[in-house]
Each structure stands twice: as structure tokens, then as C-alpha cells.
Amino acid sequence: MPPLMRKIFWFVNKYFMVPMFRLGFGALFGNPFSGYIMILKPVGRKSGKVRFAPVNYAIQNGFIYCISGGRESSDWFRNIRATPQLELILPGGAIYARAEEVTDPDEKRIVARQVLQNAGFAGFFEGYNPFKISDAELQTKIADLPVLRFQPLGLGSGAFDSGGWAWPWAFVITAILVWLAMK
């Protein structure tokens, strides 16, 4: 991906996508064009602080999958390798999960294709059409592309839970409704 495009994605992810999910609006942004997005909350391997990383995902057979487009150099990927237990904020809610890298070539090919198809326009940044590429060619193209499988372990803390960001707008809407009811 060109450096300018990488910078644009960094800016949009940090200042738009992550806040929208933390405010509870994540469900409004998933569609076939922009892609289906979740927020990873890995713990920094050096800082110990929770970080936020928007990624495209797919759900299959009770697992959630994502790919590391930055390959093994992505900070969030290296953080997850160091601490594989983390929270995921999906559009429908938050879960706590354990991550593991997919090593089976067939599983990797199947779910990588699905994640790339779910990525909308961003799925084409790998340099091929994930809807039309042959299985053999895809297998070659994703050889160095890490695919992660998340096994749900329990619930995570979402936007409406303690520490979430949804309370201000929920409070304002409730106050307006109370005020209108008293009118």
C-alpha cells in the first residue's frame, strides 16, 4: 500500500473508526463497500496499555478471523503474539477471546478469502480481486499473510458498559425524552 494511503487509513482509523465503535455506533459502518470492521484491543507488548486496531473480519464455524495486512510487522499483530488474550469490539457487541495463528493451509485460504471479500474496497489493496482469484493463486499470494483465529472465551466490555463511551449520548437522549414528556 502506498505511504499516503497508509497515512490516510491510520488517520481515519484513529480519529473516526475507533471513536465510533467506542461510542456504540460500530454497527452503522459495516457494509459491502466500506467493509465489515471490528476493533481489536490488544495490550501493548512494551507499554502494557490497551491499544485499538480496526481490522476487517469474518465469522465462520464459531470463530472470528482477521488478517494482518501489514504482515508480521504490524504492531497490533506483534502485541497479540505477546498477549493472545484480548477483547474484540464487533458491531453487535464485545467479546473476550484468545487469538492463535491459522497454520492449516486450507483453512487459511478459505478464511483469508472471506476476510478479503468482507473488506469491501480495501480487499483489493492486496493487488488482486478476492472474488475472482483462483484458489491456487490465492494460496501463493497469502503465503506470508498472517491469519488469526479468535476463539470466544466470554463477554467483553462494550460501549454501553462501564468504561464505555456511549453514556454521554445516551444520557442526552434520555434527558431530551424526559424533557419532552414533561412538556
Confirm if 124 and 130 have CB atoms less than 8 A apart.
yes
Give the confidence band of 157 by pLDDT, cuts at 50, 70, 90.
Answer: confident
pLDDT digits (tens, 9 = 90+) for 160-178: 776 777 777 777 888 888 8
pLDDT digits (tens, 9 = 90+) for 66-118: 998 777 778 899 999 999 999 999 988 889 999 999 999 999 999 999 999 99
Query: What is the reported pTM?
Result: 0.84
Give the confidence band of 150 by pLDDT, cuts at 50, 70, 90.
Answer: very high
The enclosing H or E element of 174 equals helix 167-182
Question: Which has more pLDDT, 53 or 31?
Answer: 53
Domains in the chain (CATH in brackets) are: 3-182 (2.30.110.10)
Residue 94, Ramachandran bin (φ over 0: left; ψ between -120 and 50: alpha; else beta): beta
Q: What string of H, E and C letters represents the secondary structure of 104-156?
A: CHHHHHHHHHHHHHHCHHHHHHHCCCCCCCCHHHHHHHCCCCCEEEEEEEEEC
Question: Which has more pLDDT, 128 or 124?
Answer: 128
So what's the pLDDT on residue 20?
87
